[in-house]
Each structure stands twice: as C-alpha cells, then as structure tokens.
Structure 1
Amino acid sequence: MFGRKKNKGDADAAAQYDEYDEYGDDDVEYEAEGYDEPEYTAATDPEFDTDSFRVPERGSKVGPYNYEDVADQLENVAEQRLDLGSVIVPVPPGGQLQVEMTPDGTPQAVHLATEHGRITVAAYAAPKSSGQWRSVAADLAETLRKDGAQVSVQNGPWGRELHAVTEGADLRFIGVDGHRWMVRLVAAGAAGAAAESTPLVAAARAIMSETIVRRGDEPLPVREPLPVVLPQELADQLSAAHQQQLAAQQQAVAAQLAALQGGPQPGVPQPDAEPRRGAEGSAMQQLGLN
C-alpha cells in the first residue's frame, strides 16, 4: 500500500496547463474562476521506490482508502504523504506543490506539478450509494464537448475515465466512488501527455491508488467539495507571502492615485518647492529678474 522513502532529490517542475480550470459543471468544479491571485509554489522532495510506487492493474483491489481503515498505518509513512485535510496523497518523485489561493488567502486547490504535467486530487461529498462519478463524468464530458474538446471514455483500473484533447492541453479525469465521498483526479499536460500508457497517466493512477480520503461526519450537500487544509508550516509560508503581495498591491494603488491627483508618489524623489538659492540669492535674483 505505502511506498518507502528513499533519497531526497531536487524538485524542479512548474505548472503550465491552466486551461482545464474552466471545465466542469458548476456543481462539481471546485476551482472558482475570475481570481487573479498567483499560485504559490512550495518545493518538496520526497522520493519513493519505483517498486512500491506502482500503477495498479485493472480490477485490482487498491485505494483510494477510507481514512478510518488505514489510520493506524499512517504513522509509519506520514513523512511520505501530503496531508490536505480531506485527502492525503503521496508526492511523486521530483514533484512540487502549487497552492491556488482565493483573494482572502484561503487555499482553494493544491496541485502536484511533475515533469510530465500537473495532477490535482480533490474529494467531494456523495451519497452512501455509489454512482456519483458516472453522473459527474457524463456532465463533465458534455461540458468539454460544448467547449470544443475531443472527449473519449476509456476503461482504467477503477472503470470509467475521461480523456479530453483540447487546444491548450491534454487532460485525463479519473474518479472513484467511496463511502459518502467521491474523489476525482485531473491530470493535465501537453499534447499527448494524458493518453493511455504515458508517464503522466501512470503517475496519476499510482497517486490515486494510494490516496486516502478523510470524509468526516459533517452532513454536506452532494457534490460539495470537501475542505482543503494545508499543513501548518506551509500555511504559515503562504500567509506571509500573501500578506507581502497585498502590501505591494496597496503601494501600487496608492502610487497610481497619487499620480492621478498630481500629488507626490510614494518612494519617488520630489523637486524642491522653492527655487534653489546660491550664495548670491536665488537664480531669479542673480539674473536680475526678481
């Protein structure tokens, strides 16, 4: 189930494919549009043995798991997993975290950036009976096709997967129904990156097979996204960066207002209010004009 930590390596990947954010029906998509906040990136460098970080075979009994079923095993592998509150996920070799924030500084989504593309895992409230992913996949496929994407339904280790080819990115959506939850993974990469048997899809399925969902007991509407909670150290880092950005934005706005009003601009040297005087008086007096 869990990989063993091996060596530390350099994390060197960046997200490039934001085009898929617009896809998905309004009830399901957790990424709200219209935000201009940048994504904050935090490097991580845990690596896993390739033997244990493997792709599940079709029909095999693997995760995603209920938190209650594996809680007693987490202590031994806590350093190798990223705990985001509602989901606990492994980080692939060389992966980096990208945290998408709302304007008020609340984490809205966490992405895993790899050399092959970007992987996003999110969990949603669901009824006790299974079947939500089938409904979500149908809605998602319809939306993608309306937006001009080429969509095909393919069979993966958990059954139905969506492969979408768009103008800006290659996408694969993997969903799994659990007990009162549904987890969805989105893999996004360059053209051809999300096709069958590619490294990105292999990594996506391996991550899904070891994902843990912490549903909680709170009653929630069906398809309601389960909350994302960042580890405290990362949350403190992002909060500080967010405050610095807000301060910079406020200074820029103040400078623009001052320029419009003809007043002094913060940080910009201003000329003297009176003519500069020399030993013989002002320049005007020396020229006999005053």
Structure 2
Amino acid sequence: MFGRRRKNRSDNSVDATTDEFERIGASSPDDDFDDVASAEGGPYDIDEMDEDEVGGSRLDLGSVLVPIPQGGQIQVEMAPNGNPQAVHLVTQHGRITVAAYAAPKSPGQWREVAAELAETLRNDNATVSMETGPWGRELHGSTPNADMRFIGVDGYRWMIRCVAAGPAGAAAANGPLIAAAHAVLADTVVRRGKEPHPVRTPLPVVLPQTLADQLAAAQQQQQQASRQAAGPQQGQARPQQSGVPAAGQQAPPARPQPRPRTGGSGSAMQQLGF
C-alpha cells in the first residue's frame, strides 16, 4: 500500500521546508520518520485494494471511507450552499475529522500544509509543537480552552488530514482521543477518483443515502419545531415534536453546522470552529 511506502529523501520539494519546521517546531520530530511511513495498516488507496477488502465496516463518504469508533456518533457540517462539507466522528473524548485533498504525484504536501497550519495556530495565540507519530510529523496546538492535533499522510495524488480536537489536554499524544484518531486513520480508505483537481482542493464529501435521508428528516423536524415555537405568539400553540432520529441507526447525524470552514488554508482555529 502507498501508505507504507517511504519518500525519496532527495526530493527538493520535501527538503525545501525543513528549515521552516525547525523554526516553528517546539520539539523536532525524528528525521528517520517521514510523512508516508506508516504503522501497520493504512490509510489505503482504494485502487490498491480488492473489492472484498473494502467491506461494509466503513462509513462511505465518497472521497474517504472511515471506520466509526466504538460508541462514536456522526456530526455533519454543511456548507453555505447546502452541500455536506465535512463529517465529524464524535467520541466521548473529542471529535475526529478525516478529509482528503488533491495532491501532486510526489509526496511532500503534508509538510508544507503542516508548516502553514502551525503559523496560523500561532497567529491565533495557540501553543504549537511538532511531534512524531506513526506516520511522521504531527502538529499539536493548544489554547486554554481547546486542544487539537493535525495528522497528515501523503498518498499518490492525494493527501489525507486527520484532525482530533477536544477540550484542554484532550490531544495529548498518549491520550484516548489520539489513540482513537490513529486507529481511524490506520483503517481509512481514500477514493481519489480520476478527475483532475487543483492541488490542495478538498475532495468531495458524499453522504450515504441513509445518512442523507436522516439529515433531511432532522432538518425538517428542526424547521417544524421552529414554526411550532413561533405558534404561541400567533395564537397557534402546538406540541413540539421530538428530533430523535429513527431507531436502529448505529451512528445518527447530529444537527448540521452551517458555520464557514476553509479547506486546506485559512485560520486553523476557524477550521475547527474555535
């Protein structure tokens, strides 16, 4: 699998950002690691897998297929145009978000993205450190109220980014949230597709039909509840209906979040909703 292949250390596009990492990193990662070296497992490229290997144990989001952590729930974030923009896996310890981006054929994009994210985190008054994880460099950012870790992996024409975010202290390297994030990323499958995309463009998120139907039903219930809440002011009081999703669904969607969110650029804190 590409996730286990190692980079060519003579690639100028990779080495060009080494000084930047030394400048921003509070703790330097081990140079023997790189951002495509993997622990056992993925992330995998779907083109390198047999159909029966993909299986039905992952949530198919179009560009990525992700496992759902034990006890996890799904939170769908909507773009202003009404399309799904991101899907978050919500656990008791924090939130895990996996997204895929278009990238060049040669690896090295994650280094550049991580350096830029570190800069924006610092601009948001976060404490930033660069640490070493199973795939190489991981970016850890913390504020008094929030903690986050960015984990990136370069693939063939794609880059995958996993963000684990929670309250202060949640994104420590040895914590349960990061253990869950590593497990999710190691079992993630990327479906890049053949379509051309500009470098760093987020690959499309496509909801499964069942999840899309649940989201539409939840939105309809919210709209109906809003109308009913306005009823007493108009002399038309009606009992409000519960927004509980249909029974039997393992990971029901939470209410959509319409806040703006940038793809591979912009304020890191804005991307996480802080």
Pairwise TM-score range, normalised by the shorter structure: 0.5 to 0.7
1:159-178 to 2 correspondences below 5 Å = 159-178=136-155
Q: Name 1:43's counterpart in structure 2.
A: none
Q: Name 2:114's counterpart in structure 1.
A: 137
Whether 2:205 is the aligned partner of 1:205: answer: no
**Residue number among 233, 236, 239 corresponding to 1:267 in the alignment:** 236
- Unpaired segments of 5 or more residues in structure 1? 2-57, 260-264, 270-290
Which amino acid counterpart does residue 173 of structure 1 have in structure 2? F
Report the 3-state secondary structure (helix = DSSP H, G, I; strand = E; otherwise coil) of the residue aligned with 1:193: coil
Deviation of 1:73 after TM superposition, in Å, equals 2.9
Deviation of 1:245 after TM superposition, in Å, equals 2.9
Distance 1:163 1:122 in 2: 18
1:41-56 to 2 correspondences below 5 Å = none
Distance 1:83 1:61 in 2: 22
Whether 2:63 is the aligned partner of 1:83: answer: no
Residue-by-residue CA offset, 1:150-173 (whole Å, 9 max, x unaligned): 000001111110011113211110
Distance 1:107 1:189 in 2: 22
What is the total number of aligned residue pairs between the two structures? 203
Deviation of 1:92 after TM superposition, in Å, equals 1.1
Report the 3-state secondary structure (helix = DSSP H, G, I; strand = E; otherwise coil) of the residue aligned with 2:49: helix
Q: Greater Rg, structure 1 or structure 2?
A: 1
Contact 2:228-2:237 at 8 Å conserved across structures:
no
| Greater RCO, 1 or 2 (C-alpha within 8 Å, sep 6+) | 2
Report the 3-state secondary structure (helix = DSSP H, G, I; strand = E; otherwise coil) of the residue aligned with 1:122: strand
Whether 2:81 is the aligned partner of 1:93: answer: no
Report the 3-state secondary structure (helix = DSSP H, G, I; strand = E; otherwise coil) of the residue aligned with 2:141: strand
Q: Name 2:45's counterpart in structure 1.
A: 66
Contact 1:105-1:239 at 8 Å conserved across structures:
no
Q: Name 1:222's counterpart in structure 2.
A: 199
Q: CA RMSD in A?
A: 2.4
Deviation of 1:242 after TM superposition, in Å, equals 1.7
Which amino acid counterpart does residue 233 of structure 1 have in structure 2? T
Residues 251, 220 of structure 1: CA spacing in aligned structure 2 closer, same or farther, 3 A cutoff?
farther
**Residue number among 100, 105, 108 corresponding to 1:128 in the alignment:** 105
Give the TM-score of the pair, scaled to structure 1: 0.64
Give the TM-score of the pair, scaled to structure 2: 0.68
Residue-by-residue CA offset, 1:72-114 (whole Å, 9 max, x unaligned): 2336x31x21111100011111111111123554211111111
Distance 2:203 2:78 in 1: 16
Contact 1:195-1:201 at 8 Å conserved across structures:
yes
Contact 1:163-1:173 at 8 Å conserved across structures:
yes
Residues 221, 251 of structure 1: CA spacing in aligned structure 2 closer, same or farther, 3 A cutoff?
farther
Residues 130, 156 of structure 1: CA spacing in aligned structure 2 closer, same or farther, 3 A cutoff?
same
Distance 2:160 2:150 in 1: 11
Distance 1:91 1:167 in 2: 29
Whether 2:132 is the aligned partner of 1:155: answer: yes
Deviation of 1:248 after TM superposition, in Å, equals 4.8
Q: Name 2:167's counterpart in structure 1.
A: 190
Distance 2:176 2:73 in 1: 16
